Amino acid sequence: MLKYIIKKYYEGGIGAFLAGIAIFFILMGEIGIGFVSSIYICIGLEKVLGKGLITNIIFGASSLILMLSPMLRFSKLDDKYGKNKRTGNSGNSNTGTAYDSTSYTNQFSGNGNIHLDYLSPSELRIVMGDEEIPYFRDLLEESQIEYLLKKEKFHNYKYRTNTIAGYVQISEDGKWLRLGKNILPLDFICGYSKHNNELYTIDGAVLVLPEEVRDHEKSREIGNFFEERGMYFKTTPHPGRYEFRRIVEKCHTELSKADWSRIRYNWEKAYANSKEGRSRKGNLQSDVFTRVLPTDEILKATKKIKDKRKKISDYIDFSKFRNEYSVCNGIEILTMLGYPVNSEGIDFLFECLRDVDEAYFLLAINALKTIPLDALKEKIEENAKLAYEAENVERLAGVMYLAKEIGYEIEFTKELKEKAVAREKEEKNKIPAFTIDERLAYASDRIQKFNPDSVAYAYQED
């Protein structure tokens, strides 16, 4: 309780005033309890030892310990939660670097998560500088950084209206956002404020954009970009920082691989199910495509389908989803409906196998595993053939992964393997062909002494 109150005290406002009063009464109460306890200790000692110097010394020592211990406890907590307030540090001096030098992959051994729990909001403000990968650089391996800076291809973002952005750029895989000099991972960015010229991250940081971005055209482009991706925050989401820490404690190794999509989805789901997330008013029919829904709203959607007030197709149009995280809403609805009711959504689930790195991939795999094999065979064969003919390696890999998970051998890929083996055998059995380069052969006197007609010839297959 005292930890929470001290946190509130340093957040400012009316909450800080009330927290200060609460701290005073808590400390006075604990000191009073300590004083009374020491009196009872002294009375007990008098009965055993009698009144004397030793009793007085013990009384004084116990009084001192019992009365000072609450103050020492408060002082220790104050050191943790109030450090920034006392020293007057400001995050504005933190230009382009993370607020803790330790990599996230090592954050959670012992007290490594201190940066998430004990820092005030001002320490979480990161001013974007000239560094190309600000703030997130420590999360990446050197090879990843080199690829991102030298080999990753970016293009100007194309809006749904077919308008091409002049400032906002996105990587070929859709995972990285470039704003001017700065490259940022989209999975980490959950909000934007045009008024404050800030971006908000899922781990609680505020990225202050360069002043040049306040330009009307640039800020309009950024705002439109986030609008097209669905619902986003206009200020720091609470309790986003806590949810991020809790999730990363379980799967922090994914951060070192830049596999952040699943972490982002888990964060979105945890936030949606929190008190703050459930209080966000919206329209279920449109929200299903724009943000991750809390579990109670997923249940509402399934109930409407079961009551025949809505159709399954109203919730599973892949093209309508604004971002990769909200796609999971459709998968959750189908999973809750169960087979055979959800059979109408099998094509949608196979569409979710298009990218093995997205959060929706494993959810779709798990949903498909609940459907009987007889109902999947034809779709597996069909999707494997289509992916192969379109040379879509990643989608084919997704279909093959599903087949492996359910213990099914794809006939189409089996035939491809057999044909490949047959070709290999045929190549090995061929008589090797060879030719003579006459220009090189007759370029020296030594070679010209030989009769080429008797020892050299060219064998060609019919």
Q: How confident is the model at residue 37 (pLDDT cuts 50, 70, 90)?
A: confident
Q: pLDDT tens-digit profile of 319-339? A: 999 999 999 999 999 999 999
Q: How confident is the model at residue 188 (pLDDT cuts 50, 70, 90)?
A: very high
Round to whole Å and give the CA distance between 41 and 60: 11
Distance from CA of residue 388 to its chain's centroid?
30
Full 3-state SS string of 306-347 = HCCCCCHHHCCCHHHCCCCCCHHHHHHHHHHHCCCHHHHHHH
pTM greater than the 0.75 cutoff = no
Taking a C-beta distance cutoff of 8 angstroms, is the pair 96, 128 a contact?
Answer: yes
Q: How confident is the model at residue 416 (pLDDT cuts 50, 70, 90)?
A: confident
Rounded to the nearest integer, the mean pLDDT of the chain is: 78
Look at residue 247 in the predicted model and tell me its pLDDT.
Answer: 83
Q: Give me the residue spans of the domains in the chain.
A: 2-81, 91-243, 275-418
Round to whole Å and give the CA distance between 328 and 33: 54
CA nearest to 328, candidates 298, 302, 306: 298
Round to whole Å and give the CA distance between 145 and 148: 5
CA dihedral 137, 140, 142, 144 (to 10 degrees): -110
Q: SS3 for 358?
A: coil
- The residue among 92 and 187 whose pLDDT is bigger is 187
Poorest-confidence range of 86-90, 196-200, 370-374?
86-90
Q: pLDDT tens-digit profile of 74-92? A: 666 555 444 433 333 333 3
Which letter, b or e, does each residue of 288-299 get, where b requires 16 or more Cβ atoms within 10 Å of its Cβ? bbbbbbbeebbe
Q: Which DSSP category does 460 fall into?
A: -
Q: Which DSSP category does 432 fall into?
A: P
- The three-point CA angle 324-326-329 to 5° equals 130
Q: pLDDT tens-digit profile of 270-297? A: 999 988 888 877 788 889 999 999 999 9
Q: Pick from 80-89, 92-101, 117-126, 303-312 the range whose average pLDDT is largest.
A: 303-312
- The residue among 32 and 158 whose pLDDT is bigger is 158
